[in-house]
Amino acid sequence: MSIIADEVGKRKNARSLSSFFFGVGIFVLAGFILWIGQGVLIPFVIAAFLSFLIVTVKRRIERLPGLGRFIPEALSFTLSFAFILAIMFVLVAIIRSNIEAVVAAAPGYGERLGEIWRELTVFADTMPFGADIREGLDNLQANALEVTQGYLGGVAAIARGLVGSLVTVFLYTAFILVERGRLLSKLTKIAGPHGADKLVSDVIDDIQRLVRTYISVKTLTSFIVAVISFVIMMLLGIDFAGFWSLLIFALNFIPVIGSIIAVILPTLLALVQPGGGLGLFILTGVLLTTAEQVVGSFIEPRMMGQSLNLSPLVILLSLAAWGSLWGIAGMFLCVPMTVAIMIILAQFEATKPVAILLSDNGEIDALQRGYSAPVGTPSAD
Give the model confidence (pLDDT) of 215-255 as tens digits.
888 888 999 999 999 999 999 998 888 888 988 998 899 88
Does residue 339 fall inside a structural domain?
no
In this structure, how many other beta carbons lie within 10 angstroms of the beta carbon of residue 162? 14
Give pLDDT, residue 131: 62
pLDDT in tens, 274-315: 777 788 889 999 999 999 999 888 888 877 766 677 888 888
Strand partners, 375: 348
Give which of 288, 260, 284, 263 is closest to 273, Cα–Cα: 284
Does residue 249 fall inside a structural domain?
no
Give pLDDT, residue 371: 42
| Mean pLDDT score, 112-121 | 70
Does residue 302 fall inside a structural domain?
no
Determine the number of helices (DSSP H) and then strands (DSSP E) in the chain. 12, 0
Sign of CA dihedral 156, 158, 159, 164: positive
370 versus 270: the higher-pLDDT residue is 270
> Three-state SS for 177?
helix
Does residue 335 fall inside a structural domain?
no
Radius of gyration from C-alpha coordinates of the chain: 26
Does residue 145 fall inside a structural domain?
yes
Angle between helical axes of 241-251 and 73-125 (0-180°, round to 10)? 110
Does residue 81 fall inside a structural domain?
yes
Domain that includes residue 156, residue range: 37-190
In the predicted structure, residue 35 carries a pLDDT above the cut 90: no
For the chain, the domain total comes to 1
Between CA 17 and CA 42 the distance in angstroms is 34
Give which of 249, 267, 272 is closest to 259, Cα–Cα: 249
Give which of 163, 186, 158, 189 is closest to 330, Cα–Cα: 158
Does residue 102 fall inside a structural domain?
yes
Amino acid letter for position 181? G
In this structure, how many other beta carbons lie within 10 angstroms of the beta carbon of residue 16? 10
Between CA 197 and CA 294 the distance in angstroms is 43
Does residue 180 fall inside a structural domain?
yes
pLDDT in tens, 308-350: 778 888 888 888 988 888 888 888 888 888 888 888 888 777 7
In the predicted structure, residue 68 carries a pLDDT above the cut 60: yes
Q: What are phi and psi of 74, to 5 degrees?
A: -60, -40
195 versus 321: the higher-pLDDT residue is 321
Between CA 102 and CA 98 the distance in angstroms is 6
Strand partners, 359: 310
According to DSSP, residue 381 is labeled -
